[in-house]
Amino acid sequence: MNSYTPMFSKTLQASRKLPLVDQQKINLLLTDLADYADSKSYFILNENKKDLMLMDENDPKYDRLKLTKERMTAIANDIRNVAKLSSPLRKILMSKSLPNGLSISKITVPLGVVGIIYEARPNVTFDVFSLCIKSGNACLLKGGSDAISSNTAIVSVIKDILVKHQLDPETVNLLPSSHEATEAMLNAIGFVDVIIPRGGQKLIDFVRQNAKIPVIETGAGIVHTYFDESADLEKGRAIIHNAKTRRVSVCNALDCLIIHKERLKDLPSIAKMLGESNVEIYADEHAYNYLKGNYPSDKLFHAGPEHFGTEFLSFKMAVKTVSNLQEALDHISEHSSKHSEAIISENQKDINSFLMSVDAAAVYANTSTAFTDGAQFGLGAEIGISTQKLHARGPMALEELTSYKWIVESNGQIRST
């Protein structure tokens, strides 16, 4: 028993009511929330500015923390998209009648109470709620201190809509940003069904090592793209630039370019747009020699062991030279976080080998890793990108927020043996 137990208990009680709520009512609520979020964007953006004022603009988290009018519009559209999706609940996964008279079916059900621990990403608050309510789950949110004003504002907007639609406002609750609140959530046995950490590797490791309830790991992305011997230069230039620079602070951003030694002569051309985008490159000796004099000298550095296996979350990336596909696969195996990996190649045999050999949640051929995203995968929004293999892997959306149960019916059957 701790000071957060009453909140946990109220959220649990709210979760028990949700499976009975009509999906049409949920869809109307989400559509209304999207409109209301749009109308309250001035309020939310002002609260977000309070958080931004306390953070260094050069901090990699700054871009994740920042909300803009355009981002608010995108968030509202994501909520509307979730409302349009089919319900993941009450789906019959299997049904059969047994000779003994039992009728057995397996149907999808909510997880119950989903706990989310996340860092400076206030958009997650909207994403989590919309996906949880659509899948019949209540949610307990534990944001970081760097986004406390933003998250508090967003949760107040959500609660307004819950009350308006006569649903329990305890369906969503935001914990304080203290360490005590984190500890309480990690130990909320009987109140929280699963915890999903969204953030850097340190946060994920801490949650995994300290939680006493089930954890689904999401977030950390150490992302590689392999430029194969047969790769198309123009195709590759665009893919690599997009994967690195579209938004550097997200987990699907490129961290390490692996290049076949026979294509080093093309490296200056590949890197040209990266230089124009002020990307710092940490290159191994072979790559450095080809880039020297062909890349801004103040942005080119020798790579050390610490630059491989690093999630930069900034305008920085590493370059590794390999002699063949197997070396590329070995490098990825050693340094990958099993998030997103890509190959650029015109050799279908190499592509197939890469796609089947690489152990990651999302594996790409001739495609930017920037697409590892629930909305981009047609899932609406996402809770996070799971990098583990049990229960869920990759973008976690509605279906990944359900479990199942067995329904058994008969006409008075009893077991005789």
Q: What is the pLDDT along the chain (417 residues), one digit of tens a residue?
A: 689 999 999 999 999 999 999 999 999 999 999 999 999 999 999 999 999 999 999 887 888 899 999 999 999 998 999 999 999 999 999 999 999 999 999 999 999 999 999 988 899 999 999 999 999 999 999 999 999 999 999 999 999 999 999 999 999 999 998 999 999 999 999 999 999 998 777 888 899 999 999 999 886 789 999 999 999 999 999 999 999 999 898 889 999 999 999 999 999 999 999 999 999 999 999 999 999 999 999 999 999 999 999 999 899 999 999 999 999 999 999 999 999 999 999 999 999 999 999 999 999 999 999 999 887 888 777 788 888 888 888 888 899 999 999 999 999 999 888
Query: Among 94, 80, 76, which Cα is nearest to 39's?
Result: 76
What are the domain boundaries of the chain? 5-218+383-409, 223-371
pLDDT number for residue 1: 65
Q: How far apart are CA 84 and CA 201, in angstroms?
A: 34
CATH fold of the domain at 5-218+383-409:
Aldehyde Dehydrogenase; Chain A, domain 1 (3.40.605)
Q: Which two tokens stand for residue 249?
A: 């602070």
Which residue matches tokens 């933003």? 150
Q: Which amino acid does the sequence have at 113? A: V
Which architecture does CATH list for 223-371?
Answer: 3-Layer(aba) Sandwich (3.40)
- Provide the whole-model pTM: 0.84
Which H or E run contains 154? helix 148-164
Q: Which amino acid does the sequence have at 45? A: L
Q: C-alpha angle with apex 86: 84 to 92, nearest 5 degrees?
A: 170
Query: Among 343, 376, 374, 377, which Cα is nearest to 358's?
Result: 343
Alpha helices in 264-343 (DSSP H): 267-276, 285-291, 325-335
pLDDT number for residue 85: 92
Whether 385 contacts 216, CB under 8 Å: no
Q: How far apart are CA 8 and CA 210, in angstroms?
A: 18
What are the strands of the beta sheet with 402-409, ordered from one edge?
92-97, 103-110, 402-409
Q: Which residues contact 343 (CB under 8 A, 6 or more apart)?
A: 225, 226, 228, 328, 350, 351, 354, 355, 364, 365, 366
Which H or E run contains 32? helix 23-39
